[in-house]
Structures are given as C-alpha cells and as structure tokens.
Structure 1
Amino acid sequence: MTTRTRTYHWQEPASPPDLPGLEIMRGLLAGEIPPPPMIQTLGLDLIEVETGRVVFAVKPAEYMYNGSGIVHGGFTASMMDSAAGCALHTTLPAGVGYTSLDLSVKFLRAITEQSGAIRCVGTLAHVGRRTALAEARMTDATDRLLASATSSLMIFR
C-alpha cells in the first residue's frame, strides 16, 4: 500500500469586508479577497458569480473517498451547502450574515476521479426577512445530475 499526502495552505481568516455580499463574492472570484479556509480545505474553485447564483467546480480526487472508493457524501453535502449559502450571500447587504438551518441532499450517482470535473450550481429560490431557501445541483463533465439539494438558511440582520 502506497502512502499519499496532501498539503494545502490558507490565509488567516479575516472578518468579512464591510461590503455587500455580491461584491464580496465577486472579490473572491477575482482573487482580491482570500477564500474562507473551508473552501480551500475542500479544494473548491469559485468559477461564476451573479445575483442569486454561484457556481463551484472541483476535480474529484481520492482524498475525498470514503471506504467504498467513492467521493464521501459529506464532501458532496459540504460543496452543495457552500453553493446554496453563497447564492444567498450574493443578495445580502453589507453587514448582514447567514447560516444554514438545514440541508436536504439527494445523492443520485457515485462520484469518483473518473467522473471528471464536477460543477455545483447554487441558486436562490426565495428570500424572506429572516429565512431563505436555496437549491444546489451537482453535475459531472457530461452534465449528468449527480446530486441535488435544498437548503433553508437563517439571515442575521
């Protein structure tokens, strides 16, 4: 059995800049704002940002595998939670935060390195005063649906 290692780096987490969420997300996309450590831990790339919608991409790797030799469901759920939350973030004014209340994930296909690059699109479905609803869809390189999720989020005003 061959031992493998994985090394990654992150910057010390800073307080979020006092900017509207869309500007923060665009700053992350442009590399002007450092990504949160969790995004770097997962190895996600933010590739698209617009109001109410974000897209993350990742190439599955064996460090993500569970004991069955496929990407762990927790990794998939984390990526989908990030996409759903960031979709909401794009609509929030400066100084307003959020957190996930729940996440319901449907795992539809196994994900492995052979799946190729995967994309996770987070879209905002509804925003109220205190809560929001967002959706996430994960697809493979051939646009096959791998997983789907809905997330309820609490808004801190």
Structure 2
Amino acid sequence: MGRSRTYDWQDPSISASAVGQGSGLDFLREILAGRLPAPPIAATLGMDLDEVDHGHAVFSLTPGEEHYNPIGSVHGGIYATMLDSAAGCAVQSTLPQGMGYTSLDLAVKFLRPVKADMGKVRAVGSVLSSGRRTALAEARLLDEADRLLAHATSTCMLFPIPAA
C-alpha cells in the first residue's frame, strides 16, 4: 500500500515582492517571525529557517522516508537544497536595501549518509567573503551530535533590485 503526505504553503509572490524593500537581514527576520511566508520549497521538504543573523543562517529538517533515494538513505538533493539555502541566506543577510543575490554555483561534498531515524539535521551557513559583485559562503550539514554530514561552498552574484 502506498504512503501519502499533504502539506500547505502560502503564495510565494508575497515574499518575493518584499525582497529588496529592506535589508536582507530584515527580510529573513520577517520570514523567521512568520510575518512573511516561507518559500514553498520549505513546506515541500519540511525544512525550517531556525536562525538568522548578519552573515549567518541555519535551516533544519527532520529526515523522513519521503526524502529517500532508491538505495535507502536521504537523497543528496535534499542535502544540497539545505546547504544552498543556508549559504544563500547567509549571503542575503548581509545585503543592504535594494540588493539581491542569486547562486552562481554550489559545490557539495557528501561525507555521511542521512537516515530517517537519526533525528534533526541542521544546515549552518556563513559568509566567508563578500565584495561588490560576488560573495562566497559555506554551509555545513550537521547531525544532533554536531557530526559533519556534508559541506558546501557557494558563490553568489550580487545585484541591484529595480524599484517597484
């Protein structure tokens, strides 16, 4: 017998229209506080933004079998999405009003398998370097004992957001 899962999300255009209206940190704090909706991918995966500060972002997820690949462990794309989110939001948290970013690349190293019975995992992102046009960030995927499960680096392009 098949399994099923249902979830809800809010209109992503609400948050998208707020990007660049304040600082990146203010924007992320509005999501964290629930005053702006989280992106639909967070609901799809069951991922939460847990912390945000200047140059720092933390996402968490409790792995389940809905995240599994055919060989019986969490799919690497789940790791990559968490790491990309943590690194990208760490960069976003440093941006002034009127600036945006997009990921140019993501290099992921998978170190340990993730299974549904291991409890919550956290992706901890931090900015390593930031310039006028690009920023470099890293993210670490950790288990509840702070063991390193995966690591990523990401280069992000920074750009002005046109006024609405």
Task: Give the structure-1-normalised TM-score.
Answer: 0.96
1:16 aligns with 2:41: no
The unaligned stretches of length 5 or more in structure 2 are none
User: Which residue does 2:151 correspond to in 1?
Assistant: 148
Residues 124 and 16 (structure 1 numbering): CA distance in 2 closer, same or farther, change over 3 Å?
farther
Aligned: 1:110 with 2:113: yes
Structure 1 residue 119 corresponds to structure 2 residue 115: no
1:51-85 deviation line (CA, Å, top 9, x unaligned): 00011111001110000110000111011001000
Contact 2:60 2:122 in 1 (8 A): yes
The residue aligned with 2:35 is 32
Q: Name structure 1 gaps, 5 residues minimum.
A: none
Misfit runs of 4+, over 3 Å: none
- TM-aligned CA deviation for residue 95 of structure 1: 2.3
Mapped to 1, the partners of 2:141 and 2:102 lie a distance apart of: 21
Matched, 1:6 2:31: no
- Determine the structure 2 residue equivalent to 1:55: 58
Partners of 2:93 and 2:130 in 1: CA distance: 12
Amino-acid identity (%): 54
For 1:62 and 1:95, locate their aligned partners in 2 and report how far apart those are by CA, in whole Å.
40
The CA RMSD over aligned residues, in Å, is: 0.9
TM-score for both structures, normalised by structure 2: 0.92
Indicate the SS of the match to 2:26: helix
| Structure 1 position 90 matched with structure 2 position 93 | yes
Deviation at 1:122, TM superposition (A): 0.5
**Matched residue type, 1:61:** G
Which whole-Å CA distance do the structure 2 matches of 1:32 and 1:126 have between them?
30
Deviations 1:15-54 (A, max 9, x none): 3311111001111111111011122222111111110001
Q: Tell me the distance in 2 between the aligned counterparts of 1:42 and 1:85.
A: 17
Residue type at the aligned position of 2:17 = P
Task: List per-residue Cα deviations over 1:83-114 (Å, max 9, x = no partner).
Answer: 00000010111221111111000000000112
Q: Which residue of 1 aligns with 2:142?
A: 139
